[in-house]
Amino acid sequence: MEKQGKWQYNLLRKKVHRPLSRKTALPLPAERNVASADPLPPRAAWSHDGTDATLEISGDWRRDGPEVEITGDAPAQAPARYQVDSLGSYDSTLPAFLLARFRAVTPSPADSDDAPSFTGLPDNLRGLLELALAVPEESDTRNTPQVSSDLRKLGKISLQLWASVSGLANFTGQSVLSLGRFITGKARFRSSEFWLTLQQCGIDALPIVSLISFLIGLILAFVGNVQLANFGASLFVADLVGIAMVREMGVVMTAIIMSGRTGAAFAAHLGSMKANEEIDALRTFGFDPFDFLVLPRLLALVLMMPVLTIYANIVGILGGMLVGFFVGIEPELYWTETLAAVDLTNASLGVIKSVFFGAAIAISGCMQGMKAGNSSAAVGEATTRAVVASITAVIVLDSGFAAIFTLLDI
């Protein structure tokens, strides 16, 4: 067996290393006048002789040359003969042109009974075309545009919606697990970053919250006074402004402000860290990104949203009191009516909702930042998505709370 293996190996070496003779050498496509300094433009002229068509090919056919000039009407069949008397040098451009013509008139020349004629073509060009047409074209390799049906579009939308919902559920679950580790004392994050985030979510947001809440109180008082003055009940402007601020407007406007301010800041900060591979570095050093990055922001916003809501309610009521003073309502009387209309139950509803709003804003901002791409453009897109997602979550949650409070008759 060993001798037989050596004999086969030596025979194989002789076959591999045996040089090709002139008889077995493959013919190469000829290229004439390659060094010509002034190439002739390629031309293809069709002429008809009864039922047969003749294709006259002339000029230099080069890949980097001028475009092909086609004259005459191309028939619906392959040419019967060719005239190449004026043909110059050519490369793969000419075989590609002829092969495309064959494919156009006969989609599957290899399966066709009538083989195309190559009369008049050079031998090397004829050999290339015969070799190319001997193999049928793979129909599935063409870049055919797919017709998108309504059912396909519905399927894509459903898959995207499912991916978004599952991603949100996954991120929320990991945030809850991180919060559980914080309660049990197992979460690790920098306390300095927590206090800095707490300041950014609280004290730094007071100016914009004060302005918006004060203007909202003014608007509610103006609109309410125009209607209530017709019935001589301008005093009830205090009831309208107080109840509207503590139940809905104070917490909703504060949540929208924090969505555009703090939620966007969370997404931009975490998106920049993702683009700079800082989050991957935290994983490499053994830190959980949720404990180190998401948890401090979630705790800070959840703690500060009730405080900001109470502050917004007070500022909005003061704005309504200013309008009441201009329409003839004494501030003491206005304040007494407000206290009579706003009880502890109404005052606590907005504070309860603010906790959930803060969690929704923090989760939306951090999630969009954590899933951002590795470019500056992706960071901007993540910031935009964070603002949209936060405001949408706030409105949806507020609608759900309104339905629950109505069912509970609160």
DSSP state of 294: I
Taking alpha carbons only, the member of 348, 340, 344, 359 closest to residue 397 is 359
For every residue of 207-258, DSSP letters joined together read HHHHHHHHHHHHHHHHHHHHHHGGGT-GGGHHHHHHHHIIIIIHHHHHHHHH
How would you classify the pairing of strands 87-90 and 52-61?
Answer: parallel
* Range with the poorest average pLDDT among 134-143, 151-160, 162-171, 187-196: 134-143
* Chain position carrying tokens 């230099």: 60
pLDDT at residue 37 in the model: 53
Stated pTM of the model: 0.63
pLDDT tens digits, 206-263: 999 999 999 999 999 999 999 888 888 888 999 999 999 999 999 999 999 999 999 9
pLDDT tens digits, 323-369: 999 988 899 999 999 999 998 888 899 999 999 999 999 999 999 98
pLDDT tens digits, 378-396: 888 899 999 999 999 999 9
CB proximity list for 245: less than 8 A, separation 6 or greater: 213, 216, 217, 220, 312, 313, 316, 317, 320, 350
3-state SS track over 344-389: HHHHHHHHHHHHHHHHHHHHHHHHHHHCCCCCHHHHHHHHHHHHHH
Question: Alpha helix (H) ranges present in 27-149?
Answer: 93-105, 123-133
78-87, 94-103, 244-253: range with highest mean pLDDT: 244-253
| Alpha carbons 399 and 410: distance in angstroms, whole number | 15
Phi-psi region of 391 (alpha: psi -120 to 50; beta: other; left: phi over 0): alpha
pLDDT at residue 138 in the model: 60
pLDDT at residue 140 in the model: 56
| Alpha carbons 377 and 136: distance in angstroms, whole number | 46
